[in-house]
Structure 1
């Protein structure tokens, strides 16, 4: 009876707080600001009901500590305007409204008050008017994409104040006037953006000359794209000072003169587009530009006397040269040889009078149609005198299945499933795909699918179709269709997350297709969403009435509740093993251990934003792990056990006691625990760079070179050695695997997850007989057969982990066991022990990794069939230290690698799509709301 009274009382209190007009988990300021911002919007997500966006997990809304920090609303067919109320959401760090063509109007100047904003993406909307000067106040901004709108006016000088900007995309608008640069009067300009790697300014109305001051040697630009403007004058020689440039596009302007003589100093330049200008004089000397793959200088007035420059056929990686519609004359002579990389030389519509291919077979396409030489009798029918053919059609074929006949406007996916795909145009700003084959299309499809799945998005397959070339800017584009996983349509969350990957350049396209951008279509087939409830005002009225009733009975129930709690506490004292723990002298109620703090359920719920899906950083058979923030600002990981996987109270207490007394830099530290309201939760230190498995599979974006792998091996081994030899009594982990090795902000390894660990209390026996548990592939076969667990069981698992580190393959992959495969192909008489076919290409890409053979030998000793043949973990530490010394490093150094570190925190830095770029996406990609594949 007392228990029923208690439950009834709590339900009434819960009801009372739920009807409050200001949500318990959402800041009143933020809720009011969001309400004002979206008041005039239509087509808002159906689950935007109530007054608690943070607690109710509204689609596209991400919160941190009750404050709204992200608006990720791309691709949701929203209609309305961006009002000045956005300044009320002062904690915003990310705003993405891309692919909502119904969002129009101007950008309010108040957006400059969002001083914490790091990413602003408004791609493919209907915005117009000038870009406000106040945008220069966003000093934390690293990503700014305003392309494919109708913005006009000039580029604000204040953009020069965005000192942290990396990606600047203003293309495909109606921006005019000169390119802004700084001056002696304190005026700002683009030349001050020293961290920018991307100037995307094409398809606008920019005019005047390209300022010489625009470029300087302190810049790290990779893409310089100013095509399709109204620029005049010459290309400034200062461009050659930016040694990092890889793609230059000045095509479709009114530029004159010649190409600067120092242009060949751009040693990293891969693609050069200067077509459709008024350049004249001799062709530039591009010899020595050994990274150059694609050159287009067509539709100019370049001249030559009686030869084509030698660089046309001699540059080693050059694939395409397009020089059509110029004034090139004389003889085209390639009898002296050519690069094997060449695919196309297009000299159409020039003044060439002779062609000498030599005696060798030409393995690339030559186009000379429209030249005097091709008008001669007997020559005009030659293949090189024919007009260029159109782009071949392409559509993704079915994946070993028969395409379905679908109804209701559904489409058969590559996996032959009828569904409503999310579609749009995937557009390349690189024109180097003029010679495109099936393999290239497949590479794009594979990389797209891998990118979506790496973010745990509900994607089954992707397809490409309708390849076309835009006549106005020569960009190549395809129709991209993304098909849903297991169901026939996406919900709004799925669409917005797919759109976010593309709008924020999370997807890393193959080099030949980069840089790219995406314009999403409206999606009209949303599914899996709740229906809108009745008016919120009616609910509030009913709630207030109920609240009044609740207060009337509150006094009576409070007494009943106090009595029942007293009796219940007495019963719990008799049953709960936790009550005998030492009491906290500060408040006298919370059980404590040294190094482990007791948390209440309500505290952890508050710290994890009500266990929001957006805070989920891991999941498994045990339950889920959430990121939390303590009042001190410390980040923690909260492991919440699922009901079906909870231990008994005594076992849970034992695990906490075990964890609270192990302290080592290579072990994840226990911060505290919660045992309340039927919950079992452990609170660990937060480890930002995820699991070793994520890094080996490429999911985290961390580049694992050979030295990093050695350091991770050493750190993990030291952590295990501590458990085996220094803990008292010794501890056997019992579940060593790549998923239980975490990497901190410096990529130091930390052993985690002690849920299966066992104490080796009796040192005389040396083992403990227990039920077999662990992970298949890592499991010690001797332990599996005898049920006798020893430290050497961990050694076996560690040996499998070492083989995983050198191969980047799962222990059991496609039915093949990694230990058996290594033993099968290993030959110690050959280089790298004949393991080339199974080693991870990342670590043998450039040079032979020192010590790899010794590393493999050690791993195979660890996985010996009999435990007594395996080394101890202390011996493993010594041998790995010796291997690191062979590499030439100090094994006790804290450095993660001799190579440049690209540390990627979850929800933190993400390696940028274009290779060497270190791109700060801090907080842009919280855990997905959809179920992982």
Structure 2
């Protein structure tokens, strides 16, 4: 008996030994803590042995976890303090690309300072908040620290000055405040980082003066970025000691005083941005900056008698912007002879005399903008220039009433923006709705994201050369690192409000239609790390913000078996059979319960009984549940003829109910389907919204893995279509006022009378639809945010919305309020009177109106900006009041903006002044409108119209 017991114990011991995890117990515990905290972890994160079981993104050496890399994995949760037990961790970039995992939130634990071996801490683009822990200064081996594009608050920890090995420091795009820390006795500071090459602190709330101790000749800085903060005082002369600098940005602050004379020493600087400050005094001679290609000095108050003659020495200069800087005198023709010059913007100054461009101008020239000056003549030398010359609001135009092209604003978007063309060796293919054709003409699911460049050395976004060079270098980089990339695509170059150059990137997989998880984290990792170098001669410093990837290919199962374990398992079978059965039964029971919970969460409608009241049934008011078969019938099997729009969420189909009523059915594509509970919550919210100026939700469908929302059909498309002339509806002043009033009433209802109140978050002209009588209806609640009783002041949330309409206060603070909608509505009002998009050719309509506006003149001096189709034979009654109201809505501070209820009252007053009854509905009696709609030929969704693509709530 004794020997039998010992034999059994030996078998059990050997079994335990064989299956014992190869991962250090403490490391395994820490990773399991992350699994407990996070949702959407990779499917391979199962079992108790992260190193031995091959967890994706986890690298180990001798049973210790040494690396965690998980970018763009759609992770959700918080960072556990147990991370500090991973003492051998050398680098972690998962959180940054969790940045591309925006669901990672909460504060950074102070225990992170225990990771003494950490070399890379990259948490870009996540949802982390709270102060940066001072313990981060204990990471003595750290070389790369990137915490940008989060919600960090508080001050910059002075302890960062202890990180003597730091090469890259990026804290940009957060909510950091207070002064720039420098050393003082026993207190460290940023001036101690003499080996750091990158200081990225833009888009924060840093205040106070720039300490002169911050800079020294020992520093090796290349990029110095402090743009869009609240810094005051003057630039210290010690800045001129850092002769390694290549990019300097202090734009959009409140700096004052004179510029230091020794800026001339910075011979390697290529990009110098000092615009939008309060700088005064003379402009120092910058002749020594012979590498300078981009110079932004606009919106300052320099003391300049003439255009500086030394400009002609800046041979590398491509872009010169000095608008509103009190320049005087005549523009020297020699400026235009600079061989690389592309853009000159000197508007809003006191330049006079005759403009002469001369015979030897640069063949790179694209734009010469001299608006709002005192130029009396233009000697064009009888030439026909191929670049834009803009002399609007100069005496040379107003005095002679000339109709020359240079006295008119150039047509916007005169050519297509750059997009990677397909290879010459293939023909583009037609792909399914959830795939994209690559440059090599293969259908695939690319990994996408946005490149943000802090400077570019060219001005024309339509030119292909710089983008082709960038694309070629990206491919060479991916191939040299043996990444599974077939091709890359670049598209939609644009400029944002912070003077950053944005470019969409798509990376296509090699040999298959989708990336696996390893491929994604490898690509995102090398882009989020400062590993790839964009061509310096064309592009400045960049940040990459990746999108979540939704189409992971099936990962091969781990088929590796242990023959020893099989043999021992067979030998111990008899003695362990009962134990295994018990464990299997317990496991099966738990799995069943877990599956039941998962089913309930994924399909909260599964146990509906329409005859009974149940807490799982959405509390619907006026909306009904449609079956899939019903909607299939109403849309003629979702036929192509009934396809009336599409967007990133999926497609919209027109349907006809048995009663003859038309409906719009928004059908989410597979990649846009949200969780069942979230879908249920959205339905409950929208079903409570009932107002004549808000698009009505009629019902929904949640069958066969489908998510569909059914809305009333709005026949006359979007306001955007009408303002652009696309719909054929004549937009006179009366109609524009009524549409503005209807939209304002709908938005005021959402803010005050909806239960709960709703912040729309995406008010824009394409989300204002027009019914058969041209009444405005607010649509698209895909980004809307309900306001609970505890959130009446504001909601702190990830910034979402549409660039151009986005409230800058919300953008900077991430605090969403009703006044954020008011700002967007103000931009919409300006769009109504100008028929211009909020951002065109890099020009922001709010800024353009603010700069041109002069209340002492007729129509506030806005004739060049206002839409001529309104008609100015007689000043439209109330138009100036309308502009006043719009500008009050776009005040920088939300506290200075009116409420939507106040906006409604003011528009009603304007209509009464114009002799209109604000309580009478619109009528479709316009001859233009009747002619356009005769016979039902006008269809806002036919051909290339997209009135519904984005005009309804996209599943989140």
Name the TM-score, length of structure 2 as normaliser: 0.53
Partner Cα separation in structure 1 for residue 510 and residue 13 of structure 2: 37
Summarize the alignment of residues 521-536 of structure 1 with structure 2, pairs less than 5 Å apart. Answer: 521-529=547-555
Summarize the alignment of residues 418-437 of structure 1 with structure 2, pairs less than 5 Å apart. Answer: 418-436=443-461, 437=463
The number of equivalent residue pairs is 531
Aligned with residue 452 of structure 1, among 467, 474, 478:
478
Partner of 2:44: 47
Residue aligned with 2:330, SS: strand
Higher RCO (CA-CA < 8 Å; seq separation 6+): 1
Partner of 2:155: 154
Partner of 2:632: none
Partner of 2:177: 176
Aligned with residue 376 of structure 1, among 366, 391, 395:
395
* Structure 1 runs not aligned, ≥5 long: 1-11, 534-540, 554-933
Aligned with residue 411 of structure 1, among 433, 436, 440:
436
8 Å contact kept, 1:118–1:140: yes
Partner Cα separation in structure 2 for residue 312 and residue 390 of structure 1: 29
Summarize the alignment of residues 569-580 of structure 1 with structure 2, pairs less than 5 Å apart. Answer: none
1:490 aligns with 2:509: no
8 Å contact kept, 1:258–1:281: yes
Name the TM-score, length of structure 1 as normaliser: 0.54
Summarize the alignment of residues 42-81 of structure 1 with structure 2, pairs less than 5 Å apart. Answer: 42-81=39-78
* Structure 2 runs not aligned, ≥5 long: 1-10, 376-390, 560-564, 578-956
Partner Cα separation in structure 2 for residue 231 and residue 264 of structure 1: 23
Partner Cα separation in structure 2 for residue 179 and residue 385 of structure 1: 47
Summarize the alignment of residues 778-793 of structure 1 with structure 2, pairs less than 5 Å apart. Answer: none
8 Å contact kept, 1:225–1:249: yes
Partner Cα separation in structure 2 for residue 316 and residue 403 of structure 1: 42
Residue 42 of structure 1: CA displacement? 1.1
Partner of 1:366: 368
Partner of 2:90: 93
Partner of 1:249: 249
Summarize the alignment of residues 241-280 of structure 1 with structure 2, pairs less than 5 Å apart. Answer: 241-280=241-280
* Structure-2 change in CA distance of 1:426 and 1:444 (3 Å): same
Residue 161 of structure 1: CA displacement? 0.6
Partner of 2:524: 499
* Structure-2 change in CA distance of 1:453 and 1:532 (3 Å): closer
Bigger mean CA offset, 379-388 vs 214-223: 379-388
8 Å contact kept, 1:393–1:466: yes
Residue 18 of structure 1: CA displacement? 7.3
Partner of 1:332: 331
Measured on the aligned residues, the alpha-carbon RMSD in Å equals 2.7
Partner Cα separation in structure 1 for residue 404 and residue 456 of structure 2: 27
Partner Cα separation in structure 1 for residue 345 and residue 335 of structure 2: 19
Partner Cα separation in structure 2 for residue 453 and residue 284 of structure 1: 46
8 Å contact kept, 2:12–2:572: no
* Structure-2 change in CA distance of 1:202 and 1:485 (3 Å): same
Residue aligned with 2:327, SS: strand
8 Å contact kept, 1:171–1:204: yes
Aligned with residue 81 of structure 2, among 58, 80, 84:
84
8 Å contact kept, 1:304–1:330: no
Summarize the alignment of residues 261-300 of structure 1 with structure 2, pairs less than 5 Å apart. Answer: 261-300=261-300
Partner of 2:350: 351
Partner Cα separation in structure 2 for residue 420 and residue 293 of structure 1: 38
* Structure-2 change in CA distance of 1:73 and 1:337 (3 Å): closer
Partner Cα separation in structure 2 for residue 409 and residue 149 of structure 1: 30
* Structure-2 change in CA distance of 1:416 and 1:15 (3 Å): farther
Aligned with residue 399 of structure 1, among 423, 441, 447:
423
Aligned with residue 464 of structure 2, among 423, 430, 438:
438
8 Å contact kept, 2:456–2:540: no
Partner of 2:679: none
* Structure-2 change in CA distance of 1:262 and 1:385 (3 Å): farther
* Structure-2 change in CA distance of 1:395 and 1:139 (3 Å): same
Partner Cα separation in structure 1 for residue 123 and residue 328 of structure 2: 48
Residue aligned with 2:491, SS: strand
Partner Cα separation in structure 2 for residue 542 and residue 160 of structure 1: 56
Residue 214 of structure 1: CA displacement? 0.6
Residue 40 of structure 1: CA displacement? 1.8
Residue aligned with 1:240, SS: helix
Partner Cα separation in structure 2 for residue 79 and residue 130 of structure 1: 20
Partner of 2:489: 463
Residue 344 of structure 1: CA displacement? 2.1
8 Å contact kept, 1:367–1:385: no
Partner of 1:884: none
Partner of 2:222: 222
Q: Deviations over 1:124-147 (max 9, x none)?
A: 000000000000000100000000
* Structure-2 change in CA distance of 1:188 and 1:291 (3 Å): same
* Structure-2 change in CA distance of 1:46 and 1:366 (3 Å): same
Partner Cα separation in structure 2 for residue 228 and residue 143 of structure 1: 23
Q: Deviations over 1:634-674 (max 9, x none)?
A: xxxxxxxxxxxxxxxxxxxxxxxxxxxxxxxxxxxxxxxxx
Q: Deviations over 1:400-435 (max 9, x none)?
A: 222111114101111111111111111111144433
8 Å contact kept, 1:331–1:354: yes
Residue 348 of structure 1: CA displacement? 1.5
Partner Cα separation in structure 2 for residue 46 and residue 133 of structure 1: 35
* Structure-2 change in CA distance of 1:40 and 1:543 (3 Å): farther
Summarize the alignment of residues 502-517 of structure 1 with structure 2, pairs less than 5 Å apart. Answer: 502-511=527-536, 512-517=538-543
Partner Cα separation in structure 1 for residue 138 and residue 546 of structure 2: 30
Residue 51 of structure 1: CA displacement? 2.4
Partner Cα separation in structure 2 for residue 257 and residue 286 of structure 1: 17
8 Å contact kept, 1:367–1:384: no
8 Å contact kept, 1:294–1:432: yes
Residue aligned with 2:261, SS: coil
